[in-house]
Amino acid sequence: MPSTPAHTETSFDLEQALGVLRKVFGYESFRGSQQEIIEQVTSGGDALVLMPTGGGKSLCYQIPALLRPGVAVVISPLIALMQDQVDALTALGVSAAFLNSTQDLDTRRRVETAFLEEKIDLLYLAPESLRSEYTLRLLERARISLFAIDEAHCVAQWGHDFRPDYLALSMLHERWPSVPRIALTATATQATQAEIATRLQLTEARHFVSSFDRPNIQYRIVAKAEPKKQLLDLLRTEHAGDAGVVYCLSRASVEKTAEFLTEQGIPALPYHAGLDAGTRARNQARFLREDGLVMVATIAFGMGIDKPDVRFVAHLDLPKSVEGYYQETGRAGRDGQPSTAWLAYGLQDVVQQRKLIDSSEGDLAHRRKLGTHLDAMLALCETVECRRARLLAYFGQEQAGQCGNCDTCLSPPESWDGTVAAQKLLSTVWRLANERGQKFGAGQAIDILLGKVTPKVTQFRHEELKVFGIGGELRDVEWRGVVRQLLAQGLLAVEGEYGALVLTESSDEVLRGSRPVPMRREPEKAARAGKAAKSPKAKAPVDLAPEDVPVFEGLRAWRAVIAKEQGIPAYIIFHDSVLRQIAADKPADLAALGSISGVGENKLAKYGEQILDVLRAIGA
């Protein structure tokens, strides 16, 4: 062990890198910009990597870690997930370890020794441990091959829990100027990219920005009617037995939804910050380890979750921003298999989010920023164009044409001229304010337009208003759609505790007739369900022939036993996609098995014979 660490420039040998990719990971070729990134870091340069979830970021530091002398230090924010990360590498035959505050002293000492003696290739650390002098001195005594900073957007996001610890990481550059650093994130905005580079002093780093498209995810945004029932329909008709995440805004709705699904026979677990740490850790571990569980969660759940076979992400409430929506939905389908991102959104969501913004802490500028984020999210919800194109455009990426795998592409919504409807609604709000000095929520305005004689209408003598009963051409739900779209377009606003409707500066242009208001028609339910059946669920990359399904199930059952024995998540042994390929190919010997993508040398040696036995037993 050298007393003063020497950092040599390692030259990059493509053949050697490909050898590691094939032998250790069992993959044939690099994907996207992996090769360039690995070359940059292996030869001693810094890199800032923006790549979507499932894009293959881990290899970008794991392969250089194996190629460069010394030990790679990986900064990863979630202590609860370090064990899984290390287990996944161990299963590949790579020696790795982590240090964190949950370990006893003995274990820590053992890991420290292995680190100093270079018995491991990767050491995982939580960012907060780099604020301890003890850890820094430990690092100074070792030969570090590179620093990998995972989830690097933590440094850029205002109010992020891990932000203070991440900000302190700028010292890595000062203390270890010659050790290459690679920062990685799945967050796509240019603002975040710039801020990561500045905050982490990655001034010399090469930036690698991948396409943020996730073609295997089908984006769908539906009008919220009976959200729980709609969710149940989705799970029963399209995702029976699948693992997925359901996001809710509040802890109470997380609890209620999890209970509801469980009552309906769908295994579901709650996760939110109000649960004690033990319960949260247990639920998370079960979600990762067991097949087919649904996690109902607030956005406190999900960062760093590497589970590859999350088949759907459903939102029962409107996300606060497009970034949030993209990150949350991005947790579906890391394995590249078809997956669904489904969001139910309604008028109440807009009212609620505006209320949250109005009552949020922070100055006016901050509230305005939140408002801008919400507006972008609303625009995505109300668009009549391809959702994916919209989403990518938000991140500054172009997409040619229609994607063919989102709800607006699959069943194009009609647009209609909503100008007159908008005028009717806005004049109702105007009359209430100017003739009566009153403000009411959407419900009352709609009752007035529909000419409903409710107790509240009678109480306020609203039947005497000139607009009473002038809106019979639309149904209640359609009027709600009108209000929602006016809110989304900034032609109407809500205020106060009860979401009272008020006019905006732009309302006037509509009332005067100088601004047309195109609107999206609510698709009829039946039409939608019919179209949804055409969804490309059947386009799975390895679509199993019916006779291969029992083989796949047999392999899965074998995997479940092994996972249980070893106490690791099933996907660490083999992903579903690998088992599918094995079921389809039915390799007759080890050589044939080893040539399947995702079967590396270590796993072949460890599980190869067992798999061939399973195949023989099933008679495949």
Residues that bind ligand ADP (CB under 6 A): 27, 30-31, 34, 51, 53-59, 306, 308, 334-335, 575, 597
Segment near Zn ion (CB under 5 A); pick from 12-20, 121-129, 320-328, 386-394: 386-394
CA neighbor of 611 nearest in space, from 597, 569, 589: 589
Name the minimum Å distance from CB 530 to Zn ion. 18
Which of ligand ADP, Zn ion, none lies near 27, with the C-beta cut-off 5 to 8 A by kind?
Answer: ligand ADP
Binding test (CB under 5 A) with Zn ion, winner from 21, 294, 351, 406: 406
Alpha-carbon gap, residue 258 to 295, rounded angstroms: 8
Contact (CB, 8 A) for 589 and 570? no
CA neighbor of 388 nearest in space, from 538, 245, 397: 397
- In 10 A of CB 409, how many CB atoms? 18
- Pairing relationship of beta strands 492-495 and 500-503 according to DSSP bridges: antiparallel
Nearer to ligand ADP, 118 or 291 (CB): 291
392 is a contact residue toward Zn ion (CB under 5 A): no
Nearer to Zn ion, 149 or 217 (CB): 217
Contacts 24+ apart (CB under 8 A), 83-88: 84/288, 84/306, 84/568, 84/569, 84/572, 85/124, 85/306, 86/124, 87/568, 87/569, 87/572, 88/306, 88/572
Name the minimum Å distance from CB 295 to ligand ADP. 18
Token pair of 281, please?
């850790």
Which of Zn ion, ligand ADP, none lies near 112, with the C-beta cut-off 5 to 8 A by kind?
Answer: none
- Pairing relationship of beta strands 47-50 and 181-185 according to DSSP bridges: parallel
Alpha-carbon gap, residue 91 to 535, rounded angstroms: 36
Which of Zn ion, ligand ADP, none lies near 308, with the C-beta cut-off 5 to 8 A by kind?
Answer: ligand ADP
Nearer to ligand ADP, 523 or 594 (CB): 594
In this structure, is the dihedral angle defined by the CA atoms of residues 488, 493, 495 and 500, taken in order, positive or negative? negative
Give me the DSSP letters along 224-291: -SSHHHHHHHHHHHH-TT-EEEEE-SSHHHHHHHHHHHHHTT--EEEE-TTS-HHHHHHHHHHHHHSS
For residue 317, report the phi and psi dihedrals to the nearest 5 degrees. -135, 160
CA neighbor of 115 nearest in space, from 86, 91, 79, 152: 86
Contact (CB, 8 A) for 341 and 351? no
Nearer to Zn ion, 388 or 603 (CB): 388
Which of ligand ADP, Zn ion, none lies near 56, with the C-beta cut-off 5 to 8 A by kind?
Answer: ligand ADP
For residue 11, report the phi and psi dihedrals to the nearest 5 degrees. -85, 155
Binding test (CB under 5 A) with Zn ion, winner from 47, 409, 483, 532: 409
217 is a contact residue toward Zn ion (CB under 5 A): no
- In 10 A of CB 276, how many CB atoms? 8
Name the minimum Å distance from CB 386 to Zn ion. 3
Binding test (CB under 5 A) with Zn ion, winner from 280, 315, 388, 580: 388
Let me know how long the chain is.
620
> How many helices and strands, by DSSP H and E, does the chain display?
28, 17
Which of ligand ADP, Zn ion, none lies near 403, with the C-beta cut-off 5 to 8 A by kind?
Answer: Zn ion
Name the minimum Å distance from CB 385 to Zn ion. 8
Segment near Zn ion (CB under 5 A); pick from 111-119, 267-275, 381-389, 467-475: 381-389
Which of ligand ADP, Zn ion, none lies near 406, with the C-beta cut-off 5 to 8 A by kind?
Answer: Zn ion
Which of ligand ADP, Zn ion, none lies near 289, with the C-beta cut-off 5 to 8 A by kind?
Answer: none
Contact (CB, 8 A) for 531 and 462? no
Contact (CB, 8 A) for 77 and 151? yes
Name the minimum Å distance from CB 571 to ligand ADP. 8
Nearer to ligand ADP, 54 or 270 (CB): 54
Nearer to Zn ion, 143 or 388 (CB): 388
Nearer to ligand ADP, 55 or 302 (CB): 55
Count interface residues toward Zn ion (CB under 5 A).
Answer: 5
Which of Zn ion, ligand ADP, none lies near 58, with the C-beta cut-off 5 to 8 A by kind?
Answer: ligand ADP
Residue 436, burial from CB neighbour count under 10 angstroms (0-12, 13-18, 19+)? middle
Q: Which residue is nearest to ligand ADP (CB)?
A: 56
391 is a contact residue toward Zn ion (CB under 5 A): no
Segment near Zn ion (CB under 5 A); pick from 52-60, 289-297, 382-390, 590-598: 382-390
Nearer to Zn ion, 406 or 612 (CB): 406
Alpha-carbon gap, residue 441 to 479, rounded angstroms: 13
Segment near Zn ion (CB under 5 A); pick from 3-11, 44-52, 206-214, 384-392: 384-392
3-state secondary structure of 159: coil
Alpha-carbon gap, residue 48 to 58, rounded angstroms: 13
403 is a contact residue toward Zn ion (CB under 5 A): yes
CA neighbor of 80 nearest in space, from 328, 293, 281: 281
Which of ligand ADP, Zn ion, none lies near 59, with the C-beta cut-off 5 to 8 A by kind?
Answer: ligand ADP
24 is a contact residue toward Zn ion (CB under 5 A): no
Amino acid, single-letter form, for residue 367: R
Which of Zn ion, ligand ADP, none lies near 528, with the C-beta cut-off 5 to 8 A by kind?
Answer: none
> Interface mask (CB under 5 A) for Zn ion, residues 138-177, using x and -?
----------------------------------------
Q: Which residues bind Zn ion (CB under 5 A)?
A: 386, 388, 403, 406, 409
